[in-house]
Amino acid sequence: MRPLEDLRIVSLEQYGAGPFGSMHLAELGAEVIKVEDPSVGGDVGRTVPPYDEDGDSLFFQSFNRDKSSITLDIRTPEGREVFEDLVRTSDAVYSNLRGDVPEKLGIRYADLKEVNPRIVCCSLTGFGMTGPRSAEPGYDYVLQALGGWMSLTGEPGGAPQKTGLSLVDYCGGYVAAIALLAAIHAARRDGAGTDCDLSLYDTAISLLTYPGTWHLTAGYEPTRTRHSAHPSLVPFQAFEAADGWLVVGCAKEKFWHRLTEVIGRPDLAADPRYATFADRNRNRDTLLRLLEEIFRTRTVADWLAPLYAASIPCAPIKDVADAMTDPHTLERELIAETPHPAFGTVRSLRSAVRVGPPGADREPTRGAPPMGADTDRVLRELGYDNDKIAALREAGVLGRG
């Protein structure tokens, strides 16, 4: 058995952050029943371009493997009845909606505890269910702006920039998954469920980590750094070589001493201006100008060989295509292949979460489901007969068709 095969999660999720979090749980064996509202065409992620076709998209496939999908309008009395039947047989209700929506939909613990006293109601919202912004929609780009991230990203003097990936969304999904598992553990121990009030805003702020601590405690003012340099460890940044770019990082003093040998300048290790982390940080401008000139004299490959040999942290700066074909990516079985009627074989990225001994084979994975593909099966498991299902469909509760 996979670790979470005894978990059932009813999920009112959409787009990226929520589906990303629950997909890890599904890959670990949890039954994630994705409830899609037929009146709005289901999860909006199904229509994200440029690769969208027939009510599905490669974006949707990236976040929804191993799940089940049912169509259900829980705002109708009949749909609410079905939803509560699902809640009776589940461990958690999981959602990523605007902060004021869980109360409106009646999916908080206070709304569902009479249906199932052990239910966990996990809500990942933009700004949380309290606070002055709780009713505002939250998107990764917005949160990177509000959370200070964009002020730290990019070259000095340039425009503020977001990270290349939607990291607030994805980290928020991880946060929600951790909270959900912790709450289910407590519910099984104590016999009572609870709410989990999580937000992308909280995630973005908490991920400021040590620059935030430095600012709050010592008045540090974070700034953008040239070539993605670490704010205090020098050298630790991107360097331009003769034919491309590489990252070199001296996170320990021993790496700095080794680097001076590799670049043919052992005298720099003895120079009092560069003797310690603090010295190099104070004199970073002169040191980095010198190092940048040296790194431009050889190719990336010519530098990597001696740097690897000296066990100095380093890497070529690859593009996505190179990262997908890296032997380590393949050896770690990070690429999933699933069949799809419109896209042929979908190749997507598997969860980084693993449970089991090193080198253990990955469990098989299923492609993201067509909208409503599991509606009849799930309802029959709840005890609904064909007539009842047909009546719900005729009433529009499950959508038509």
Strands (E), 98-202: 120-125, 194-199
Please indicate whether residue 169 is annotated as part of the active site: yes
End-to-end CA distance of the chain: 36
Q: Looking up tokens 């104590």, which residue turns up?
A: 190
Q: Which residues sit opposite 322 in a β-bridge?
A: none
Cα–Cα distance between 201 and 195 in angstroms, integer? 18
Q: Decide: 199 and 128 in contact? Cβ < 8 Å.
A: yes
Look up residue 278 and give its amino acid: A
- 56, 169, 195, 374: the catalytic one is 169
- Helix, strand, coil shares of the chain, percent, nearest 5, are 45, 15, 40
Strand-pairing partners, residue 198, are 124
**C-alpha neighbours within 13 Å on the C-beta side of residue 399:** 18
- Crossing angle of helices 300-309 and 253-262, in 10° steps, is 130
CA 320, 321, 326, 330 torsion-angle sign? positive
Active site residues: 169
